[in-house]
Amino acid sequence: MKNPPNVEQVGPQARIQAELVRLESQKREFWILIVFAAVVLFLGIISFFFPHQFWEGGVLHVTISPQVLFVIMVAVVLTFLVYVRRDLEVRGLRLANLQQYMSSQEDQAASMIDAVTNVFTRGFLHDLLASEISRAERSNRTLALIMCDLNNFKQVNDRYGHMMGDYVLSQIAVILKSCVRGSDYVVRYGGDEFLVLLPETDEPGAEIVRQRMHRLVSEWDASNRVGDLPISVSLGLYLHANGQTAEKDIAEVDARMYAEKQAAKRAAVVDASPLQQ
C-alpha cells in the first residue's frame, strides 16, 4: 500500500515557515563552517610553528610556503564566514519583519469579522459602503440596501441569557448569508441589526431577496422556537440615489425598516383585538 502523497502547504504563512526551516538549516551549516575554520586555523598554527614536523620532509610542491598557504586559507574561510553570517542576519531580520506584517494583516482581517455572527463588522462598513457607492455611480449600476432588525430579541436575552441571544444572532446571520450572492455583503450594524449590501441589484431583485429572508427566518423560527417567543425580522429596503452620501443611505434604509416594524406592531394589535372583546 502506497503512502499518500504529501500535501503541499500554500499561502504566505506556509512560505514563511518553509523559509524559517531553511534558515535554521543554514545556521547549522554555518556552525559546521566555523568548526572547519577552527580546524584549518589549528593546522595553520601547527604548520607555522612546526613546519618540518608537520610537513613530512617538506615535500609540498607549491611556490609559496605552507605557512602562507594556510594563512590564505584561513583568511578566505573567515571572510566567507563573515559574509554568510551577515547574510543570515539580514535574512532573519527580513523574515521577522515579514512575520510581523503578516500578523498585523491577520489582526486587521480578524477585526473585520464579527466573532458571534461571522459577518463583517460595523467598523468595516464605512469604507465598504463608500467603495460600493463609488463603483455604482461610476458604472451607472444600482445598489440596494436592506436593513434587518430582529423582533423580540431583547426578550430572548432577558429570559434566556446572552448565550441564547448569541445563538439566535448567529443563526439569523447564516440565513441572511444564504439569501445573498457571493458578491453581496452582510454587516452586523448593531446589537441585533444587520445591513445587507446588494451591488448591481435593482428594486425587484432586492425585493425577492427581502421576501426570501422573511420566509427563511419564519421557517427557522417554526422549527427552532425559543421558548414561547416567536422570532421574526423587520426588513427595510432602499436603493442608493446618485450623489447621496453613505450616511444618508443608511438613514433612509433604517427609516424603512423602522416603518415596517411599526406596521407589524399595529397589525399584531389589530389581530389581538378580537381576542380581547
- Looking at domain 122-272, its CATH superfamily turns out to be Reverse transcriptase/Diguanylate cyclase domain (3.30.70.270)
Does 70 score more than 60 pLDDT?
Answer: yes
pLDDT, position 18: 60
Does 120 score more than 70 pLDDT?
Answer: yes
Does 69 score more than 80 pLDDT?
Answer: no
Q: Which amino acid is at 273?
A: S
Does 13 score more than 80 pLDDT?
Answer: no
Residue 205 in grid coordinates: 431583485
Closest CA to 21 of 95, 93, 87, 84: 95
- Report the Cα 132 to chain-centroid distance in Å: 21
Does 223 score more than 70 pLDDT?
Answer: yes
What pTM was computed for the model?
A: 0.62
pLDDT, position 61: 44
pLDDT, position 268: 67
Low-confidence winner among 119-123, 227-231, 264-268 (lowest mean pLDDT):
264-268
* Three-class SS state of 222: helix
Supply the mean pLDDT for the chain: 79
pLDDT in tens, 246-262: 999 999 999 999 999 99
CA angle 146, 149, 150 (to 5 degrees): 140
- Structure confidence at residue 270 as a pLDDT band (50, 70, 90): low
pLDDT, position 233: 95
Q: Mean of the pLDDT values across residues 135-141?
A: 93
Domain boundaries, the chain: 12-112, 122-272
pLDDT, position 41: 66
Does 145 score more than 90 pLDDT?
Answer: yes
pLDDT, position 246: 94
113: phi then psi, degrees, rounded to nearest 5? -115, 130
Pick the most confident of 47-56, 101-110, 153-162.
153-162
Does 241 score more than 90 pLDDT?
Answer: yes
Got the DSSP string for 97-136?
HHHHHHHHHHHHHHHHB-TTT-SB-GGGHHHHHHHHHHHH
Does 153 score more than 80 pLDDT?
Answer: yes
Does 144 score more than 70 pLDDT?
Answer: yes
